[in-house]
Amino acid sequence: MTDLAADLAQAAATDRLLLALDFDGSLAPIVPVPEDARMLPELIGTIADLSASPSVTLVLVSGRAGDSLAHCAEAPSGTRVVGSHGAQWGTIETEGGERHFVSSPLHLSETESQLLADLTRQLEDIAARHEGVHVEYKPAASVLHTRRADSDVAAAAEAALDAGPATLPGVNVLRGKAVTELSVLHTNKGEALKRLIDELDATYAIYAGDDVTDEFAFAALAAADIPTMTIKVGEGASLAPHRVAGPTELAEVLRDLAQHILGHVSQTS
């Protein structure tokens, strides 16, 4: 374990800080219906303060599709978003009080489109046969959700997925909390973090996340050639040296970071 306070102080003093944050389970508590997820209220002001800091680039790096993230995440207009596990790149923009995801459209080849149609049909068939299981649709993936199913039904649905659509050639299988995503693109959060560090010429990078797919990001930052800080949110094995119990505790860490940055600015100005 490294010292969290020392790492926060170092991050706050850097010139170009990449602050990359996962959404579900990290900024927003896990809920049964994905579209009901919302950022913790106490985070809204902190996220706005951090995103207004000249030395900080805030990026939400999520498994969610960009439009779903824009709907659920009360982030300031202009916030950068990497959605669909690195397949979508854009920003959240607010217009007429509504948040939208703005990006160039995702292009799929004919083969990828056909594969997406095939795997989606098979997932819909599995959902129809398993009570409480549903499908979420993304531009390059479809997702089987089992959170609302009894555990034996969930296990049977997952087994059907493993024996069926997960075996289709070209499918990228991403497992998370009561969710399995089948994507036709081979992206992950680790590749996204590497690209962000390069694009921003970041001098320090922070990433916080709660799920198995966040381990790609933790691994990428562990191998980066700049100082980094990674925070696992909640329980489970992780590569991240820091850990907090849940979104409430992550909100406290981010509030401390914002205070460090404000303090550093007032000392240097």
Q: Do residues 257 and 50 lie in contact, with contact meaning Cβ atoms separated by under 8 Å? A: yes
Q: How far is CA 166 from CA 138, 192, 222, in A?
A: 16, 23, 30
Q: Is the dihedral of CA 144, 68, 118, 186 positive or negative?
A: negative
Q: Please list the residues that pair with 205 across neighbouring strands.
A: 18, 228
Comparing CB distances to ligand L263DTV3, the nearer of 32 and 45 is 32
Give the torsion through C-alpha atoms of 242, 59, 201, 265, to 10 deg: -80
Q: To which residue do tokens 């980066």 refer?
A: 224
Contact call for residue 173 and ligand L263DTV3 (CB under 6 A): no
Residue 40 tokens read as 């913790």
Starting at the edge strand found earlier in the chain, the sheet holding 17-21 runs 98-102, 88-95, 80-83, 56-61, 17-21, 204-209, 228-233, 242-244
Contact call for residue 176 and ligand L263DTV3 (CB under 6 A): yes
Other beta carbons within 10 angstroms of residue 107's beta carbon come to 9
At its nearest, how many Å lie between ligand L263DTV3 and the CB of residue 181? 6
- What is the spatial distance between Cα 80 and Cα 94, in angstroms, rounded to a whole number? 13
Contact call for residue 147 and ligand L263DTV3 (CB under 6 A): yes
Comparing CB distances to ligand L263DTV3, the nearer of 102 and 135 is 135
| Binding pattern for the stretch 86-125 against ligand L263DTV3, x by CB under 6 A and - elsewhere | ----------------------------------------
At its nearest, how many Å lie between ligand L263DTV3 and the CB of residue 231? 14
| Binding pattern for the stretch 14-43 against ligand L263DTV3, x by CB under 6 A and - elsewhere | --------xxxx----xxx-x--x------
- What is the spatial distance between Cα 128 and Cα 134, in angstroms, rounded to a whole number? 8
- What is the spatial distance between Cα 162 and Cα 269, in angstroms, rounded to a whole number? 57
Contact call for residue 74 and ligand L263DTV3 (CB under 6 A): no
At its nearest, how many Å lie between ligand L263DTV3 and the CB of residue 264? 29
Interface with ligand L263DTV3: number of residues (CB under 6 A): 22
Site for ligand L263DTV3 (CB under 6 A): which residue of 16, 38, 175, 177?
Answer: 177
Q: Do residues 82 and 67 lie in contact, with contact meaning Cβ atoms separated by under 8 Å? A: no
- What is the spatial distance between Cα 112 and Cα 170, in angstroms, rounded to a whole number? 8
Contact call for residue 154 and ligand L263DTV3 (CB under 6 A): no
Site for ligand L263DTV3 (CB under 6 A): which residue of 58, 64, 217, 257?
Answer: 64
| Binding pattern for the stretch 200-239 against ligand L263DTV3, x by CB under 6 A and - elsewhere | -----------x----------------------------
Chain residues binding ligand L263DTV3 by CB under 6 A are: 22-25, 30-32, 34, 37, 62-64, 136, 143, 145, 147, 176-179, 181, 211
